[in-house]
């Protein structure tokens, strides 16, 4: 546990890529893989791969490479994928329903057990097989079912209020899709999915490219 905490977030953000790649190798009965090969598949350098994987123990062997199964299991353990996670969605609107319909969460061990809403036209329904309860029942359902992850999919105006309710439960992590920074006690982990921020980043990249093209054009004109 102590060792796990020291790993930087930058490394953690790359781990899902290792996990996916190693999973594919495993399914294809590949037993060992070198840092060069892993790097090639992931678009990282071999030394980046060695540095990343050195963070959690001595798995590579000089001249042998990595044992695929061992490394896959270790990465899964670090990502907390060796245990099943129960999740709830707060806000059964467009996004909440779309997330409830996404089958890959469950196949990766993340089970959505309930949705919550304040709209009486939604409560009592089952959407994509997931029951929708009134917000009033949120704390009870979370604590009774050992839910560890809550997904916030309510309008941004209501997100903090939902976060406050969640703070009084046994929840360990919040996956926040509302485009605001929510405040929660430090023992609750928050991961934001702010789509607009991501879109702005894409916009920046496009813009940067255009600037670069203009610059190149100007420069090449000078030599004509
Ligand atoms: P929506 O209006 O379709 O759904 C929101 C739902 O939350 C409604 O059913 C509403 O009754 C419920 N709600 C409101 N206050 C509540 C509360 N205090 N407790 C429980 N339920 C409550 O909105 P949509 O499109 O699903 O968006 C939800 C959130 O996700 C927004 O913050 C939005 O910015 C964000 N988002 C939406 C995306 C999308 O593709 N729709 C993509 C990324 C983010």
pLDDT in tens, 142-181: 999 999 999 999 999 999 999 999 999 999 999 999 999 9
CATH number of the domain at 103, please: 3.40.50.720
Does residue 186 sit in the same domain as residue 220? Answer: no
Asked if residue 180 has its Cβ within 6 Å of ligand 1, the reply is no
Both tokens of residue 79?
A: 């990502």
**DSSP code for 83:** S
Q: Do residue 149 and residue 100 come from a single domain?
A: yes
The response to whether residue 149 sits with its C-beta less than 6 Å from ligand 1 reads: no
**Which positions make up the binding site for NAD(+)?**
91-96
> Which domain, by its residues, includes 187?
85-193
Question: Domain ends where: 46, 78, 110?
Answer: 78
Domain boundary, last residue among 15, 47, 78: 78
pLDDT band at 5 (very low <50, low <70, confident <90, very high): low
Choosing from 47, 78, 109, the residue where a domain stops is: 78
Residues 188 and 174 in one domain: yes
Write the residue with the smallest CA distance to atom 44 of ligand 1: 177
Q: CA-based angle 160:113:89, to the nearest 5?
A: 25
Q: Do 156 and 113 sit in the same domain of this protein?
A: yes
Q: State the CB neighbour count (10 A cutoff) for residue 215.
A: 10
* ipTM > 0.90, yes or no: yes
Co-location of 71 and 94 in the same domain: no
What value does the mean pLDDT take over residues 91-97? 98
């Amino acid at each position: 546990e102590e060792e796990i905490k020291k790993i930087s977030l930058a490394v953690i953000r790359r781990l899902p890529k290792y996990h996916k790649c190693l999973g594919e190798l495993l399914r294809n009965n590949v037993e060992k893989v070198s840092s060069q090969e892993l790097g090639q598949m992931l678009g990282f350098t071999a030394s980046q791969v060695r540095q990343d994987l050195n963070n959690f123990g001595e798995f590579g062997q000089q001249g042998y490479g990595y044992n695929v199964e061992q490394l896959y299991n270790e990465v899964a353990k670090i990502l907390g994928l060796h245990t099943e996670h129960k999740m709830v969605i707060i806000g059964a609107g467009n996004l909440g329903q779309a997330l409830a319909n996404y089958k890959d969460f469950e196949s990766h061990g993340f089970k959505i057990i309930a949705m919550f809403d304040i709209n009486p036209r939604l409560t009592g329904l089952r959407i994509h097989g997931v029951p929708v309860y009134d917000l009033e029942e949120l704390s009870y359902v979370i604590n009774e079912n050992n839910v560890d992850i809550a997904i916030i999919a309510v309008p941004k105006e209501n997100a903090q209020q939902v976060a406050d309710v969640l703070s009084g439960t046994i929840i360990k992590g919040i996956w926040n899709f509302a485009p605001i920074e929510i405040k929660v006690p430090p023992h609750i982990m928050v991961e934001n999915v702010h789509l607009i921020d991501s879109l702005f980043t894409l916009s920046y990249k496009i813009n940067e490219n255009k600037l670069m093209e203009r610059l190149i054009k100007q420069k090449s004109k000078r030599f004509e």
